[in-house]
Chain A
């Protein structure tokens, strides 16, 4: 499974989100590749990904893609990431 963490520039917040998503996936025992991406390449990368994680503002920019787009409000809240990932994977 491929998951993309998206931010505006691809150097900062997406890297933090990627690290915390990997932490959550390890706890859940789910095997997945998590990649950080900037908004410019996110649409293309979303084509072969199952899930896109991002913030509310950027979710609107990404628009309509096949992957499930999940909005994360607090990138440091592992419980929020866990809950939203779990319900997306159900």
Chain B
């Protein structure tokens, strides 16, 4: 369980204090961040938006959190993630978990083989204290530093 999410996340794939007006723009940012990290091509961004148009806002799987993703396709270059924290939350149309303030972009070339990445992601997303600190982070470098050293949190609390 000790896989470090920072190892799975490229600094180029992180956006902090992003501003968007709607969910399409939020997913587009998450898609652009995947492209910037060499994870996907632009086509994948369109696929992620089309998935929500077709299946609804089911990607909002917890309060404030959307996992934008589509299926394995030629637009996926490798397994990877992006991380977009929003200054102003946007609505995805989910009945219970709106509005969304964190969008994780996710891509995988197949159905297996990215389990460690998902475990690392779950580890971070289920740690409420770490998640709050990550959403308040001011820069991609700070996001990565917090993920690599969650003990920074305790340091912060006592300083």
Which residues of A approach B to under 8 Å, CB–CB?
A: 7-13, 15-17, 19-20, 36, 38-39, 55-58, 61, 73-77
Q: How far is the CA of A57 from the CA of B97 in the complex (A)?
A: 13
Q: How far is the CA of A20 from the CA of B97 in the complex (A)?
A: 18
Contact call A16/B121, Cβ cutoff below 8 A: yes
B95 touches A9 (CB 8 A): no
Q: Which residue of B lies closest to A78 (CB)?
A: B126
Question: Total A-B pairs in contact (CB under 8 Å)?
Answer: 75
One of A11, A39, A55, A61 near B61 (C-beta < 8 A): A55
Q: How many interface residues does B have (CB within 8 Å)?
A: 30
Q: Which residues of B contact A75 (CB under 8 A)?
A: 61-62
A13 and B95 in contact, given A19-B122, A20-B122, A76-B126 (Cβ under 8 angstroms):
no
Return chain B residues, CB-CB under 8 Å to A16: 61, 67, 118, 121-122, 125
Which of B55, B65, B119 is in CB contact (< 8 Å) with A8? B55
Q: Mostly helix, strand, loop or mixed at chain A's interface?
A: mixed
| Residue in A8, A10, A15, A74 whose beta carbon sits within 8 Å of that of B62 in the complex | A74
Find chain B residues with CB under 8 A from A7 CB.
Answer: 58
10 tightest Cβ-Cβ pairs between the two chains A and B: A57-B56, A57-B58, A75-B61, A12-B69, A55-B58, A9-B71, A8-B55, A11-B108, A76-B62, A74-B62
